[in-house]
Amino acid sequence: MNEQNSSGLFQRQWKQKEGVIIAAGLWTIGLLLELFQLSPSVPPFPANLLLLILLSGIILILHFQYKQSELVRWHSSATGAIFSTGLFSIQILILAVVPQQSGDAGSSPFGFDHMVSGWPFAIALMWLLVCLGLTIAKRWPATYSLRNIAFLLNHLGIWIILSAMAIGSGDVREMQFTAVKGHTLNRSGNGDPRAVLPFQVTLLDFNIQYYPPKIALYDPYCGEFPVKHKSLPFARENQALKVKDWNITPLNILTNSIPGDTGFIASPVPGGGTAIYVSAQRKNSGKAIEGWIFSGTKDLNPQDLPLEGQAGLAVFEPEPLKYISSLHLEGENNLSETVEIEVNKPASFQGWKLYQSGYDTSAGENSGISILFAIRDPWLPVIYLGIMMLFAGGILMILIGNSRIYNTSKPTA
């Protein structure tokens, strides 16, 4: 009886109560650290790699030297996995619900508006990595059956993804900069001396391709449009289209125009609006109404075409289909390359990715300015490795499941 009573916390069997205590304790510690504005930071390579090796070493020491301890056994059990995953999931839920600020510039005293760079998220992630690591170490010397291999691939893949995202954040570099046509630059221009690219970027050309303009039927008395903007038809010259109970035919389309003596004419300089000469005829009516509609500019008012009853025609400025920047990149050792980038189609150069971020919307298609976003994440191949391991483990689990179904349904002799 005395020996049983003297058994310590790390000898007696742990259950759900200990999981609640650990999860609540770790989260409280994270919130307190955040309250005192002690923001965590991950050092760059090679210090972050040493931290990852240290974390792996601690996990292996715990497994090989203290695996009989109830502390280690509980953390490698399903109960430990549930509670560590649950605490991490709470951080993800807050991240999804609360609007986030960039970096650690949030105003929430507990870091809820900058979760990824806060202590609660970091502590929950480290706890999950420890539990995952102990679970992997526990299953590693087991039999190398297909089921066990699939288990190891899935769990090790998750561990690699999470650890690379956490530790690798110290090496992620990103910056946004404005490129001017014909000029060369290699820094963001935001005043940060660290925001410098290891190569030079020259904007050779910038082009925008537009959708056709859209024609809208509206009520001139209340200014409402009965048809939603996404459902409005595109206007193409001499192609009839239907809007509500009107048949409309664009007869002449000018994409860069200004008012003239008898209508609208092509503008000799950039900055004009879209003008369309249309013929509108109501269904079951032989009367056609013709006239100009104009989208307007920042200096010129739009012009609509009144129709029968409480109806009028208007035109919207064409929306960008895509915008493309032609860049010349020149790095060390006389390495150079000419690339074209557009939204969702970045270019890679010397370990960096260049994305099309924006342009001078006030100048439109005549913009000589392109806003670019550059990012470098050397740990991304490691994350891809973890994803491939997850994929391989999932495929293996499917094959094992199908094999069991086949063997179960196979008739016996």
Give 165-183 pLDDT, tens digit per residue.
999 999 999 898 899 999 9
Q: Please, are residues 378 and 403 in contact by the beta-carbon 8 Å criterion? A: no
Phi, psi of 318 (to 5 degrees): -60, 145
Q: Does the structure show a pLDDT above 80 at 42?
A: yes
Domain boundaries in the chain?
2-172+381-409, 175-209+321-376, 212-318
Q: Which pLDDT band holds residue 1 (cuts at 50, 70, 90)?
A: very low
The two tokens of residue 35 are 């309250």
pLDDT tens string 218-271: 877 666 665 566 668 889 999 998 888 888 999 999 988 999 988 999 988 888
How many other C-beta atoms lie within 10 A of the C-beta of residue 333?
5
The whole-chain average pLDDT of the chain stands at 87
Q: What is the DSSP string of 245-310?
A: TEEEEEEEEEEEEEE-SSSEEE-SSS--EEEEEEEEEETT---EEEEEEE---SSS--B-EE-SSS
pLDDT tens string 285-316: 767 899 999 999 888 999 999 887 778 899 99
CA angle 52, 55, 60 (to 5 degrees): 125
